[in-house]
Structure 1
Amino acid sequence: MQYARVATCALDQWALDFDGNLARTRRSIEEAKRQGARYRVGPELELSGYGCEDHFHEIDTFVHSAEALAELLQSGVMEDIICDVGIAILHNSVPYNCRALCLGKRILCIRPKLFLADDGNYREPRWFTRWERMGEVDEHRLCPALERATKQRTVPFGDCCIETLDTKLASETCEELFTPNSPHINLGLAGVELLGNGSGSHHELRKLHTRVDLIRSATEKSGGVYLYSNQLGCDGGRLLFDGCALIAVNGKVVAQGSQFSLKDVEVVVATIDLQEIRAYRISKASRGVQAAQAKKLHCVSVDFSISDPAGAHGRVSRPIEVRYHTPQEEIAFGPACWLWDYLRRSGASGFFLPLSGGADSSSTATIVGAMCRLVAEEAKVGTEQVIKDARRIVGEDPEGSAYLPVDPCEFANRIMHSAYLGTSNSSQGTQDFAKQLADTIGNYHLYVNIDPVVTAIFNLFVAVTGKTPRFRVHGGSYAENLALQNIQARFRMLMSYFLAQLLPWVRGNSGWLLVLGSGNVDEGLRGYLTKYDCSSADLNPIGGISKVDLKAFLHWASTKQGMGYKVLEDIASAPPTAELEPITDTHVQTDEEDMGMTYAELGWFGRLRKISHCGPVSMFKRLVVEWSSQDPKAVADKVKFFFKSYARNRHKATTLTPSVHCESYGVDDNRFDLRPIFVDPNFPWQFRKIDDLVARIRHAPPDATTARM
């Protein structure tokens, strides 16, 4: 037996918060040491925060990162423990995303990232350069702050590993785990037994399975220990980093942190037996053949042991069942953590939500309810940072107050404000739904009739033009009907911001409120929203979630196994409607009728457009097979109508409220979905090709349809 205690962690770091990031990094090292660990891995770019983006073009970001590492080294916290720290480093005036491996007051080596993330939400090559010289190492001249702290002038910089008295360990960084030829393959064959991955991996619905499978496979074929560290919470942007630090041994997970947490620091520790790794490797004959041919690594030797010969750490950590949340739980807790970080770091006093009683705004309200429950749970167990933040948000002295937010409804009443902004087109049913849900969560809730202002704007238009616009059901044109709807929608936005600024004052408090939006990802994709209406807000927790997933979430949240908000069952079952047109005996406005497509169809369009990278013709080819029960001409018409609607409304994506990224076919124009604002919505070449395919399919034998495309 050769037992070793190792640690990884999840940290809620914040872009450019060098004081806070340093403090949390130090706490994680102290906690790892308290639990007996002699090797600790931290998340990607933990000292600066991962999401600094173009601040990585500023020399100050690199200087302050080095200063923070210098303070960490000088503090003595890394005595008797090897620490793998994420940091941005300038080497020969080239910016690198690096891992600094340290022991005591020494930097053992600096390992730059070999493969940079450059798709989806990530633009790392915009800020960093990858290390191209595999297997090679330079001498890096330390900056003055690090030279003073370490008494070292240079350190090894490049593709290298650490060789202790009892094992070899090395680093991998985030994206490298996801590449086809990952560094861990060659590192494992070359004798590395402990591999740390400092990551900045964002949450996406149903993504954790993929991540865990990759971590398992990293050691399943070749043996070894994989320590996965991740950022946690909101780093200041549209992503939620979901933590879930893991330790895997020989393809089995032996320790797992929480996926969604309000804690700033979470440390995961395991006891491993180095002999088990070697025995596992010996049993793999084919691995032995390949390992014997492996290239030699550049190793930095250090007079230090990871293992404890006395076996003071007791039993070896054995495999556990990985805990996965359902998609409904992910919707409840992921955006809730994202909202909490924005609320506590923005200086706001709470939230305001225009609560219509429909599925979307009710989903947003429910997520705030989930956030309040998470806060209450942490308050009950005495989590100091959560209690301190909650006291400041509600206007109490963070240090001197005895207030504890242990009742989620009471806390919600202090920080969550909502209003039903009704008109003559609103129904009593949605008004009742909004009131019942607000009472269940604990919101401070108002009813506001906005008809007087809508009527005033209408009368002003009539006085100026001499024309009286009418709704469609009263004989008006499409333009009249749309304009009359938009008056109501846009005034709801104005009223929301007015209430958000003054409701704290009305209640005898100071501060201001963050306005929450509630447009889902499908409506953003279709452009089914009024520009600058109540979809315009400060934050939108559901802007990256599909309508299908939101309905499933509401059904779950209505049950005892979910959140017990019973009224959500009725809300989820009601037909989605904007309630902007008059209700008559023969007409009730519904979203799907207005859009000209169902939400289920929108999900197909979204996934094929973004995930499968389909243009109009390839999308038609896919759907004419998937929807084989439908007439090809009907499928073609739906595809054409989607692309026309998407192109005409693409400009709306530029003004979408910042939302937490949850869905892989999101339409966030600012970060994730980089396409032109204006293109020809008629797609003449593409649609002509679709028409040709429809004609060929209709004249082809039934079994030859797919072959002819």
Structure 2
Amino acid sequence: MEETRLILAGAALNQTPLDWEANLLNIRSAIIEASTRNVDILLLPELCITGYGCEDMFLHPWFAEETFEKLLQVKEWCDNMTVCLGVHVIIGQDVFNTACVIKNKEILGFTAKQFLARDGIHYEPRWFTPWPANVVEEFEVKGKRYPIGDIVYEEKGVKYAFEICEDAWRTNRPAERHMPKGVQLILNPSASHFALSKTDLRHRLVVEASQKYQCAYLYANLLGNESGRVIFDGEVLIAQNGKLIRRNELLCFKDVDLECAEVCFGPNPEITETIEYLPPIDENAELIAALSLALFDYMRKSRSRGFVLSLSGGADSSCCAVAVAEMVRRGVDSLGVTGFVTKARMFSLQDAEYFESLPQEHVVKELVGRMLTCAYQGTVNSSDATYTSAKELAESVGAVFYDWTIDDEVRGYTSKIEGALKRELTWEQDDVTLQNIQARVRAPAIWMLANIKNALLLATSNRSEAAVGYATMDGDTAGSISPIAGIDKAFIRQFLIWMQEELGYLGLDYVNNLQPTAELRPSSENQTDEKDLMPYEILNMIERLAWYDRLSPQQVIDQLEKEKVAPVKSIKGYVHKFYTLWSRNQWKRERYAPGFHLDDYNLDPRSWLRYPILSGGFREELGKLK
């Protein structure tokens, strides 16, 4: 073929399930921006009309009909351009996840996804039917027939076809069949969830495919916290013949993030612009970017007015506090003061004018003061060190800070039970009970603050605690959202040091010099988390070997012994304790506040790891340990 040049664009969209108005506005904004830049083909993400996270709504026939009505609206915006976007359709009893191609206000066809994501957080086979390779059929909607299937399209003599998200991650991916058909451009509309370092895999997937198949590859992902748990990084990639041409900034606060490039097609295509991709990725920087965007989207999409936090002065609550402060800083940097204030949906016009009038160095702290309220709820077992840690951190980021004691409430409940049982509660006999009542008594007052402010209450449990149930149900697990539930304790501890040193949160100096402790036993006992459990590094290794690598208890021991992480006798004790506590505490994991998916796995039974509430508890397997 002769040389042809096409201006290709991909747009990341921050969508919300079932939010027709906002979703269509983002789609239209992307189309308008692409039009002003003379784009030939615009790619939008997977299922972007409805939102990816609609779950069982995809099974409702009326919902598919309503979605198609919205698609027909979008069709009328696609003048002098080809627009490709994700939409589901129902044919008979089957639901298909498709990419619809619209050119000059006409629907050319629907390419249906062939490989459904079914591992980790994905349950696509529950809703969708996979499409067979090399099959093209027709279906009818409102009296008009449309082609659907494994279609090859053409734009100015350039043949193009699709891989939809998971399609590209399989060894027998559709690209293998596209190339013999003369396809020179592959489009990939995606809803690929965020996980630490995943962008590196995705980059290689796209660039290496363009090299292997000697083609151009255009990739566009969803953006933001779409439906509560899952975060999308909004990655847009344009590559050709093994070279990266365009890549955008990930995890931005925009609703629409569009990247475009002119791409040459022909026997020896000219590639004038390339980007050098430089791994390794800084996972700390990735994590704070993901947490910030996830918190902001969760807050504004739930129509909440900021956050409330029981700030203990320990690592977990301190991490949550800094995440909110960094949310504000990053949001203002990305959107500007007015853009951030408007998008937050919690401020008046007068508020916006006030914030705009502030000196730049004061505006972030002032906004944090409106968006984060903290309270230190001490007991006789609390230390001056944790009080100072909480107070100094709150003041350093600008949060509202209250402090009070809960000893009267603890005594009130304790005396009631002592009166009923006709005996005194003692630490020797009632250790867990006396620890738990302190944590539970903290919940009502902090919930009151959240209710008064119409704010989200932040739960502070981390993944290591969830694994072994080291948390008080209806106490420190209380909350509307649990932002660090997907992060292990060892990572959090080094993350806090990184935020102090790299981001300048100097108020973290206090917590970074404390040993993690629940402070629920008398201070004379010098309670620490690791004395109660085991070293966090070993706990995390057992957790990953057990649930990510799916090893048996004996295989876990064998691996730990091979790595010489501790004496053999200690390893056996740690593994026995882990599995015993794990099995006993599944009911807690079922009741935790929703958490964000941040790593390549997590323990959330709604989004990654399902396990029975009642089980044999590995009794036989633990009894056979060598």
Residue 342 of structure 2 corresponds to residue 388 of structure 1: yes
Residue 422 of structure 2 corresponds to residue 466 of structure 1: yes
User: Conserved in 2, the CA contact under 8 Å of 1:359 and 1:551?
Assistant: yes
For residue 160 of structure 1, give the secondary structure of its aligned residue in structure 2: coil
Distance in structure 2 (CA, Å) of the matches to 1:612 and 1:199:
27
For residue 28 of structure 1, give the secondary structure of its aligned residue in structure 2: helix
* Offset from partner CA, 1:92-145 (integer Å, 9 cap, x none): 34210001011011111111100000111110011110112x11111221x22x
More displaced stretch, 608-617 vs 44-53: 608-617
Residue 136 of structure 2 corresponds to residue 137 of structure 1: yes
Distance in structure 1 (CA, Å) of the matches to 2:470 and 2:252:
34
Distance in structure 2 (CA, Å) of the matches to 1:425 and 1:541:
27
Aligned to 1:549: 491
Aligned to 2:600: 664
Deviation at 1:329, TM superposition (A): 1.1
Aligned to 2:412: 456
Deviation at 1:30, TM superposition (A): 1.3
More displaced stretch, 525-534 vs 315-324: 315-324
User: Conserved in 2, the CA contact under 8 Å of 1:15 and 1:235?
Assistant: yes
Larger radius of gyration: 1
User: Conserved in 2, the CA contact under 8 Å of 1:16 and 1:61?
Assistant: no
* Offset from partner CA, 1:595-623 (integer Å, 9 cap, x none): 1x111011101211121111212222222
Deviation at 1:200, TM superposition (A): 0.5
User: Conserved in 2, the CA contact under 8 Å of 1:89 and 1:98?
Assistant: yes
Distance 1:253 1:591, change over 3 A: same
Aligned to 2:34: 32
Aligned to 1:286: none
User: Conserved in 1, the CA contact under 8 Å of 2:200 and 2:279?
Assistant: no
User: Conserved in 1, the CA contact under 8 Å of 2:337 and 2:355?
Assistant: no
Residue 157 of structure 2 corresponds to residue 222 of structure 1: no
Q: 1:651 aligns with which of 587, 600, 610?
A: 587
* Offset from partner CA, 1:635-661 (integer Å, 9 cap, x none): 222212211111112221111111101
Deviation at 1:396, TM superposition (A): 4.3
Residue 206 of structure 2 corresponds to residue 250 of structure 1: no
Q: 1:326 aligns with which of 282, 287, 297?
A: 282
User: Map of 1:103-182 to 2, 5 A cutoff?
Assistant: 103-132=103-132, 134-141=133-140, 143-144=141-142, 153-182=144-173
* Offset from partner CA, 1:207-247 (integer Å, 9 cap, x none): 21111111111111121111111111111131011112111
Distance in structure 1 (CA, Å) of the matches to 2:442 and 2:86:
45
For residue 448 of structure 1, give the secondary structure of its aligned residue in structure 2: strand
Deviation at 1:156, TM superposition (A): 1.3
Deviation at 1:316, TM superposition (A): 4.1
Deviation at 1:379, TM superposition (A): 4.1
Distance in structure 1 (CA, Å) of the matches to 2:372 and 2:320:
11
Distance 1:486 1:688, change over 3 A: closer
Q: 1:685 aligns with which of 616, 620, 623?
A: 620
Residue 95 of structure 2 corresponds to residue 95 of structure 1: yes
Residue 539 of structure 2 corresponds to residue 583 of structure 1: no
Aligned to 2:58: 56
More displaced stretch, 548-557 vs 8-17: 548-557
Q: 1:592 aligns with which of 530, 555, 568?
A: 530
Q: Number of residue pairs matched?
A: 620
User: Conserved in 2, the CA contact under 8 Å of 1:394 and 1:415?
Assistant: no
Deviation at 1:546, TM superposition (A): 1.1
Structure 1 residue runs of 5 or longer lacking an equivalent are 148-152, 281-310, 505-511, 692-709
Distance in structure 1 (CA, Å) of the matches to 2:573 and 2:341:
56
User: In the alignment, residue 393 of structure 1 is paired with which amino acid?
Assistant: M
Distance in structure 1 (CA, Å) of the matches to 2:180 and 2:532:
59
Aligned to 1:5: 7
Distance in structure 2 (CA, Å) of the matches to 1:564 and 1:557:
7
Aligned to 1:496: 446
Aligned to 1:509: none
Q: 1:612 aligns with which of 549, 570, 573?
A: 549
Aligned to 1:86: 86
For residue 602 of structure 1, give the secondary structure of its aligned residue in structure 2: helix
* Offset from partner CA, 1:372-424 (integer Å, 9 cap, x none): 102221343764xx34223x3134479x9565496211100011101001111
For residue 624 of structure 2, give the secondary structure of its aligned residue in structure 1: helix
User: Conserved in 2, the CA contact under 8 Å of 1:86 and 1:198?
Assistant: yes
Structure 1 outlier segments of 4+, above 4 Å: 322-325, 395-398, 400-403
User: Map of 1:173-212 to 2, 5 A cutoff?
Assistant: 173-212=164-203
For residue 83 of structure 2, give the secondary structure of its aligned residue in structure 1: strand
User: Conserved in 2, the CA contact under 8 Å of 1:620 and 1:639?
Assistant: yes
More displaced stretch, 179-188 vs 358-367: 179-188
For residue 420 of structure 2, give the secondary structure of its aligned residue in structure 1: helix
Aligned to 1:235: 226
Distance in structure 2 (CA, Å) of the matches to 1:84 and 1:414:
41
* Offset from partner CA, 1:424-457 (integer Å, 9 cap, x none): 1111111111111111111011011111111111
Deviation at 1:36, TM superposition (A): 2.0
Distance 1:380 1:250, change over 3 A: same
For residue 163 of structure 2, give the secondary structure of its aligned residue in structure 1: strand
Distance 1:488 1:197, change over 3 A: same
User: TM-score with structure 2 length normalisation?
Assistant: 0.95
User: In the alignment, residue 613 of structure 2 is paired with which amino acid?
Assistant: I
For residue 487 of structure 2, give the secondary structure of its aligned residue in structure 1: coil
User: Conserved in 2, the CA contact under 8 Å of 1:5 and 1:272?
Assistant: yes
* Offset from partner CA, 1:3-47 (integer Å, 9 cap, x none): 221000110000011121111111111112212210011111000
User: Conserved in 1, the CA contact under 8 Å of 2:341 and 2:347?
Assistant: no
Distance in structure 1 (CA, Å) of the matches to 2:447 and 2:546:
35
Deviation at 1:322, TM superposition (A): 5.4
Residue 577 of structure 2 corresponds to residue 641 of structure 1: yes
For residue 196 of structure 2, give the secondary structure of its aligned residue in structure 1: coil
User: TM-score with structure 1 length normalisation?
Assistant: 0.84
Q: CA RMSD in A?
A: 1.9
For residue 229 of structure 1, give the secondary structure of its aligned residue in structure 2: strand
User: In the alignment, residue 672 of structure 1 is paired with which amino acid?
Assistant: W
Q: 1:574 aligns with which of 501, 508, 514?
A: 514
Distance 1:451 1:45, change over 3 A: same
Aligned to 1:20: 22
Distance in structure 2 (CA, Å) of the matches to 1:529 and 1:460:
24
Residue 311 of structure 2 corresponds to residue 355 of structure 1: yes
Deviation at 1:532, TM superposition (A): 1.3
Deviation at 1:182, TM superposition (A): 1.2
Distance in structure 2 (CA, Å) of the matches to 1:13 and 1:360:
30
Deviation at 1:327, TM superposition (A): 1.1
Structure 2 residue runs of 5 or longer lacking an equivalent are none
Distance in structure 2 (CA, Å) of the matches to 1:370 and 1:60:
41
Distance in structure 2 (CA, Å) of the matches to 1:72 and 1:51:
20
Distance in structure 2 (CA, Å) of the matches to 1:582 and 1:381:
47
User: Conserved in 2, the CA contact under 8 Å of 1:546 and 1:663?
Assistant: no
Aligned to 1:305: none
* Offset from partner CA, 1:552-607 (integer Å, 9 cap, x none): 21111112xx22111313312311000111112xx211001111x11101110121
User: In the alignment, residue 477 of structure 2 is paired with which amino acid?
Assistant: S
User: Conserved in 2, the CA contact under 8 Å of 1:610 and 1:664?
Assistant: no
